[in-house]
Structure 1
Amino acid sequence: MSRIQKLDAALIAQIAAGEVIESPAAIVKELVENALDAGATSIDIRVLGDGFDEIQVRDNGTGIVAADLELAVTSFATSKISSLEDLLKARTMGFRGEALGSIASVSRLTIESRSKAEEHGSSIQVDEHGRQIAPAAIDAGTRVVVRDLFYNVPVRRDYYQNVAKTRKQLSEMFIALAVASPGVAFRYDNAIDEPVVLSRQAAVIGRMQGIWGEKIAQDVMPLYHEVNGIALEGYISRFYFYRTHASDVRFWVNRRPVVYKPLVMLLRNAYGELMPKGRFPFAALFLSLPETEVDVNVHPQKREVRFRDEKRVLSLLRDAFHRTISEGGGIAAHSMVRMPGNMPATAGLSREEPPDQRDATAFHLPLFEKAPENFTEAGAELSASAQARPAVPQNLVLHSRIFNTFIVATNDEGLFLIDQHTAHERINYERFLRRLAEKRDMAQQLATPVALGIAAPDRGRILAKRDTLAVMGFMLEDLGPAGLALTSVPSYLDPGEEGDALQKAVAIIEHDEEADSAVLFDQLAKDLSCRHAIRKGETASLTDFAELIDQLRRCASPLRCPHGRPTIVRIDEREIFSYFKRQV
């Protein structure tokens, strides 16, 4: 007797539903996506009992013709694709034809619909008793009502005992769908809170204001970056605006909300020290690319995607974030921090002693190289807006240094505070990148090899990176039982820091195994630029500061250090007057 048997249709549907319909939020997602695919311009979502008692979605889309109603609740029946080629190029939100069938297998489902080509509507009801088709009084469009979710799968229903979590999932799903479709009017009613009503908007920022309030437009920076047919656009936080968790980083690929794990790390790296530890940026980002470049059919709920060329996508994301953050917000004080409206002007300014009384041991910026007048950061192609925007102000009059850290300067535009450390970091960083762009030999032969005190179990791990380390300027020799020795190091290292720099280089490589040598060098350059920069309290003079500002003015991206912190903050005339409750 055969022990293998074919499963019946009802059991197959239940198994499929376990992958597609795992929560009330998944029901809302599938039904709203169907409405969007039907061309709806108005969608009404109503939820009772946190989605377990009833979920209702009403739209004004094209509707379902009466002859197709029964097929609509049959698994793997769809009007959206008909071949493998269609699947690979699917542009619609849904395409598998399994959502309604899966929903029907774990709930009591009613669909009422009228096609715009028909005079009368029809309905189908699916429950444990079977299917019933009947006429329906409904305007053009579709209403789907899902009742008693998981009534026949009690374990799954009992799993959702955390009411707050279920409501959060529902609201997050509503936000993800609504933000991506600003041209569609939405209404969301969970029978507990005030209904959320969103009118149609011409742009995403208008929809964001409807959800997060009018002020969100001030708290975010617009982003747009396109390379070879792949475009990223949206909004990311200004530097004072951050969240306590990563869930406010939202990402859509071809309008489909997805989870992309590298995204948060890329954003955090781009913000650097501008983002406090344990905090996360706010972001609403939309990636658009040809359908053949992304596989959306790798996850049952389509929450994840796979890119044909992920390195290319990662590079685009990284470049877009760094460019926007380095250019965004200008150098006005109000763009960096929230300043209380009643903040008193308490910081006094003191003048530096005359030049002839300066300390004879003044710091003379030993890492500076005289750069060509027109040098720019290696590989950097500044956007038109960056080229047009003023960078380091001209005609600055230097006055003093306060807190042993900030240079005080003025001109006709206002008061400027220059962070000596971050400014010097930027200068050093672009110097290192300039060397790389000029393809100078970064390795400097050591007169005497430097023995490395690396434990035997770690030697193989470091030797495995030998080729990549060589590109970064580190040449290793394996001395067998005697250990490892450095025979060459990057020429910009100071004596005594060879071992620490090597360990830092290895850590950088291990953090991103896929990165190319230029990215690895960039990370090391950022670390070393910081180490070589002037520190708080180091002796310096106004002449030194003038030289520093002159060198900073020559940089391609002078307003931020390599880690993203500002180099200059401006407090303009209007701001200063406002502290004293006066008008200019």
Structure 2
Amino acid sequence: MANIQVLDPIITNKIAAGEVVERPSSIVKELVENSIDANASYIEVFIEESGMKSIKVIDDGDGILKEDASLLFERHATSKISSDYDLFSIRTMGFRGEALASISSVSRTIVKSFNESSAPFLIEMYGGEEVVREPAAERKGTEVIVLDLFFNTPARYKYVSSLTTEAGKIIDVMQKFSFNHPNISFKLTFDGKQRFRTKGNGNLKEIIADIYGINTARIALPVEAKSPDYSLTGYIIRPEMTRSNRNYINISINNRMIRDFRLTNSVIRAYHTLLAKDKYPIVILNVDMDPKIVDVNVHPAKTEVRISKIKELEALIEESIKKVLHGETLIPDSIEHTTFQKPKIEKPRIEQEAIDFSSITDGINPWIQREKDYSKENTDSEDKTFRDNILSYNNKNVDREVPPNVSRANESIPQSFKDDTRGVTEVEVKKERLPYFEIIGQFHGTYILMQNETGLYLMDQHAAQERIKYEYYYNHIKNRDEKVQLLLPYTFEFAYDDVIKIDEKLNDLKNLSFKIEKTGMKNYTVVEYPSWINQKDPEGDIRAVIDFISNTDHFSVEDYKEEMSIMMSCKDSIKANHYLDKRQMQNLLDELGQCHSPFTCPHGRPIIIHFTTYEIERMFNRIMK
């Protein structure tokens, strides 16, 4: 008797089900994709016990011909493709012809469908075998019911998480469908309770409001970009609203939900320094492209794809999001204001009229006066670079008595930077990105109080100077390759365990402008080092750099340059309880306004918080209903 035999179709279907039907959310995804391919305008999903008891999907699509009923549950039976050429131009959600065969093999599955060109029918499958076929009532579209999931494969129960987790995954899948197909009305019901419903009117921002809330939709920013190969559309949420994981970064290709680590990282890079550590943005993006440059036939779940020009797409996503964020004034409202929804009725009248900042008692417009004052201070250098303005921070205050606990802005900038007369090419003085602020004073020696016609603002002085110095340091470290030569080289001795790691990273150290050679079994000699090393203790900093690089598994020169800039800017900036006079506060504000991104410190914390006049009046009960 031969050892090799062809497996029974029921067994092969169960094997295929292991890839296609991973969990209840996989079934929801496959069935809804079939409804989308059937041109449905309304899709309703009913779930019981997170899908383990029952999943029902109803649509108003084209329906299935009665003549095709016998092939409905056959593997690789599909109406989506007919030749191998079609695999290179796939635009439908499904195409493999495996979903219904796999689902029916591990459950009890009932399909009711009606196509206007044929008679309605009902088929019931039990563990992959047909048990009922009969006529059904006329109702346009298709209804699929999946009962008793995994009843004949009990081992699969061990890999199904809690009902709450499974419910969350189903909700996530349905939300992604809603984002990718705003012209379709979706309804999701759990155990008789409606979770969400979309209108299907094509308004993506309205869907964001339905799913994430009105406050999220209010700060959604549209993104549109094109390149020869790609067209990018969608919304990004301002960085004051974040999440603790990447699951809210929704990227789709030709309206197909996908998972791609590289594209997700391009989104995160675009929010560079605008997000706090371990915080991630909310993003909804769709990329339209020629299906010939994307391969969706990679995995049965069809969420993994291969894109032939992935680097170009990464760059398009990153640059388009950066452009949108750079055009916004990213000053968040106070915490209370972000959770308080203004009434939709006409704005209420308040007892006290708002202060008119366009005219003061002495008849001087503060906007114009501030321009005059600033231009007078800089008549000797109209084209000052950002570096020059940092170095002049202290010079503006030479005639004033400075409290002993105030840290000078340029006190800790390396001497090699101070002596350099060349400007930083990447960041130059530009039109200020901040609105006009009138400085009121200082709170607890930590926060600078400001106001304008829209309300009250608090600026964190440490975070503000961190941003100023970070951009200054980063541009020097990134754009310059100057070195400091040592007459007497530094020699370092390391443990044998570290020597192996350092030997592997010698090229990385040289890329950071170190001239370092191994001079013994455990000894290394440095004869040159980059100019951005702290001049107060260069030997200690060099050792710290070597230790850091040797103990970093995935070292990136660019990432390390940024980490160094962040560390130096944080260490050298004004700390809390440092009192400033009004001129110093104004200088700090002026320098911040010329930063490339003046809204967050390098760690992603906000620099300025806004309290609206409306909110303050409401807190004091001065609003007249």
In 2, Cα distance between equivalents of 1:470 and 1:306: 35
Equivalent position of 1:430 in the other structure? 471
- Any conservation in 2 of the 1:504–1:524 contact (CA below 8 Å)? no
- Any conservation in 1 of the 2:462–2:573 contact (CA below 8 Å)? yes
What whole-Å deviation, never above 9, does each CA across 1:381-430 have from its counterpart, x for those lacking one? xxxxxx99x61344x55454433333344556654433332222222233
- Any conservation in 1 of the 2:484–2:528 contact (CA below 8 Å)? yes
In 2, Cα distance between equivalents of 1:134 and 1:339: 55
Q: Equivalences for 1:392-407 in 2 at 5 Å?
A: 392-394=434-436, 397-398=438-439, 400-407=441-448
For residue 432 of structure 1, what is the amino acid of its counterpart?
Answer: Y
Equivalent position of 1:170 in the other structure? 170
Which moved further from structure 2: 558-567 or 532-541? 532-541
Q: Equivalences for 1:91-240 in 2 at 5 Å?
A: 91-116=91-116, 118-127=117-126, 129-130=129-130, 133-157=133-157, 160=160, 162-194=162-194, 196-218=196-218, 220-223=220-223, 229-230=229-230, 233-240=233-240
Identity %, equivalent residues: 30
- Any conservation in 2 of the 1:235–1:285 contact (CA below 8 Å)? yes
- Any conservation in 1 of the 2:465–2:573 contact (CA below 8 Å)? yes
- Any conservation in 2 of the 1:270–1:564 contact (CA below 8 Å)? no
What whole-Å deviation, never above 9, does each CA across 1:460-497 have from its counterpart, x for those lacking one? 32333333333333332222224223332221221215
Equivalent position of 2:13 in the other structure? 13
- Any conservation in 2 of the 1:40–1:60 contact (CA below 8 Å)? yes
- Any conservation in 2 of the 1:21–1:103 contact (CA below 8 Å)? yes
For residue 120 of structure 1, what is the amino acid of its counterpart?
Answer: A
- Any conservation in 2 of the 1:466–1:475 contact (CA below 8 Å)? no
In 2, Cα distance between equivalents of 1:55 and 1:251: 26
Q: Equivalences for 1:372-387 in 2 at 5 Å?
A: 376-377=426-427
Equivalent position of 1:421 in the other structure? 462
Secondary structure, counterpart of 2:334 in structure 1: helix
- Any conservation in 1 of the 2:438–2:450 contact (CA below 8 Å)? yes
Equivalent position of 2:357 in the other structure? none
Q: Equivalences for 1:27-38 in 2 at 5 Å?
A: 27-38=27-38
In 2, Cα distance between equivalents of 1:405 and 1:377: 27
Equivalent position of 2:384 in the other structure? none
For residue 528 of structure 2, what is the amino acid of its counterpart?
Answer: S
For residue 365 of structure 1, what is the amino acid of its counterpart?
Answer: A
Pairwise CA distance, 1:216: 3.2
Secondary structure, counterpart of 2:521 in structure 1: helix
For residue 74 of structure 2, what is the amino acid of its counterpart?
Answer: T
Secondary structure, counterpart of 1:552 in structure 2: helix
Secondary structure, counterpart of 1:480 in structure 2: coil
For residue 62 of structure 2, what is the amino acid of its counterpart?
Answer: T
Pairwise CA distance, 1:132: 5.7
Equivalent position of 1:548 in the other structure? 588
Equivalent position of 1:580 in the other structure? 620
For residue 427 of structure 2, what is the amino acid of its counterpart?
Answer: E
In 2, Cα distance between equivalents of 1:527 and 1:312: 32
In 2, Cα distance between equivalents of 1:340 and 1:161: 36
In 1, Cα distance between equivalents of 2:230 and 2:548: 31
Label 1:428 to 1:199 Cα distance change in 2 as closer, same or farther (>3 A).
same
In 1, Cα distance between equivalents of 2:225 and 2:482: 32
In 2, Cα distance between equivalents of 1:171 and 1:114: 28
Secondary structure, counterpart of 1:449 in structure 2: strand
Q: Equivalences for 1:298-309 in 2 at 5 Å?
A: 298-309=298-309
Given candidates 386, 391, 394, the residue that maps to 2:433 is 391
CA RMSD of aligned residues (A): 4.1
Equivalent position of 1:58 in the other structure? 58
Label 1:87 to 1:264 Cα distance change in 2 as closer, same or farther (>3 A).
closer
Pairwise CA distance, 1:25: 1.9
Q: Does 1:559 align with 2:599?
A: yes
Q: Does 1:460 align with 2:459?
A: no
Q: Does 1:365 align with 2:409?
A: yes
Pairwise CA distance, 1:449: 2.6
What whole-Å deviation, never above 9, does each CA across 1:69-103 have from its counterpart, x for those lacking one? 22232111222223444324322211211111112
In 1, Cα distance between equivalents of 2:425 and 2:263: 32
Pairwise CA distance, 1:5: 1.7
TM-score (norm 2): 0.76
Label 1:293 to 1:542 Cα distance change in 2 as closer, same or farther (>3 A).
farther
Equivalent position of 1:472 in the other structure? 512
For residue 409 of structure 2, what is the amino acid of its counterpart?
Answer: L
Label 1:256 to 1:410 Cα distance change in 2 as closer, same or farther (>3 A).
same
What whole-Å deviation, never above 9, does each CA across 1:137-195 have from its counterpart, x for those lacking one? 32332222333332332333576483333333333333332332221112223334246
Pairwise CA distance, 1:15: 0.9
Pairwise CA distance, 1:506: 7.2
Q: Does 1:449 align with 2:484?
A: no
Pairwise CA distance, 1:318: 4.9
For residue 377 of structure 1, what is the amino acid of its counterpart?
Answer: V
In 1, Cα distance between equivalents of 2:398 and 2:541: 41
For residue 418 of structure 1, what is the amino acid of its counterpart?
Answer: M
Pairwise CA distance, 1:34: 0.7
In 2, Cα distance between equivalents of 1:502 and 1:291: 52
- Any conservation in 1 of the 2:182–2:204 contact (CA below 8 Å)? yes
In 1, Cα distance between equivalents of 2:49 and 2:17: 21
**Number of aligned residues:** 561
Pairwise CA distance, 1:60: 1.6
Equivalent position of 2:297 in the other structure? 297
Label 1:506 to 1:30 Cα distance change in 2 as closer, same or farther (>3 A).
farther
Given candidates 575, 587, 590, the residue that maps to 1:535 is 575
In 2, Cα distance between equivalents of 1:372 and 1:102: 68
Label 1:364 to 1:521 Cα distance change in 2 as closer, same or farther (>3 A).
same
- Any conservation in 2 of the 1:120–1:137 contact (CA below 8 Å)? no
Equivalent position of 1:76 in the other structure? 76
Label 1:224 to 1:39 Cα distance change in 2 as closer, same or farther (>3 A).
same
Equivalent position of 1:346 in the other structure? none
What whole-Å deviation, never above 9, does each CA across 1:227-286 have from its counterpart, x for those lacking one? 664455544554554446554444434333334456777777776887666665544444
- Any conservation in 2 of the 1:183–1:201 contact (CA below 8 Å)? yes
- Any conservation in 2 of the 1:425–1:561 contact (CA below 8 Å)? yes
Equivalent position of 2:24 in the other structure? 24
